[in-house]
Amino acid sequence: MSFSLGRHLAAGLLSTSLALGAFVLPARALTVEEAGKVVRLLGELEPELGRLAYDEEEADQWFDDDAGLEGRIAKAGFTRESWKEALGATFRGYLASIATERFEATFSGLVEKVDASDLNAEQKAEMRSFVVEKIAETRALRAEGAQHLGAVQPYAARLNELLGDEEE
């Protein structure tokens, strides 16, 4: 894994964990059909809306932006809330689909990079704590995604193209 891949994926996972920390999972499991619709829509909308950097606000923004275009999300049968739930479940399932070695390699050296930074001791301690907390939260999101893995697995390669590192 390249340094750039690790840094990009780590940054994305850490920022995602911030946004999703309070996001409540739907009570029911994601279906293969819903996951397929989400993946299809992500691919269709990316040229117009850009690469998705998932969080709950971004899900809302995509829903709003798409409504101003062709309304494909609503046409696919999603309401704002069902879109957010399906997209969140798909994202968590995607995290669960990443090979453990690759997923864990994303975090390799992050704390060491903080320790080697030009920050003062107090800033380093604060940043180190933040990084450790976000790594734990991202691992928890991945664990939550296990319940959606069956629905997401058929689309894992495409999701990696859409949500993974751009250099792959």
Total structural domains within the chain:
1
Domain that holds residue 79: 3-163
- 72 within domain boundaries: yes
- 168 within domain boundaries: no
Q: What is the mean pLDDT of the chain?
A: 85
Q: Report pLDDT digits (tens) over 37-63.
A: 999 999 999 999 988 887 778 899 999
- 74 within domain boundaries: yes
Q: Report pLDDT digits (tens) over 142-152.
A: 999 999 999 99
Band the pLDDT of 3: cuts 50, 70, 90.
very low
- Give the integer Cα–Cα distance in Å for 12 and 91: 12
pLDDT value of residue 38: 97
pLDDT value of residue 54: 78
Rounded to 5 degrees, what angle do the CA atoms 133, 14, 49 make? Answer: 155
Q: How far, rounded to the nearest angstrom, does the alpha carbon of residue 136 sit from its chain's CA centroid?
A: 15
Residue 9: C-alpha distances to residues 65, 96, 154, 164 (Å): 25, 14, 21, 7
- 30 within domain boundaries: yes
What pTM value is reported for the model? 0.77
pLDDT value of residue 86: 95
pLDDT value of residue 129: 94
- Poorest-pLDDT segment among 3-12, 40-49, 104-113, 115-124: 3-12
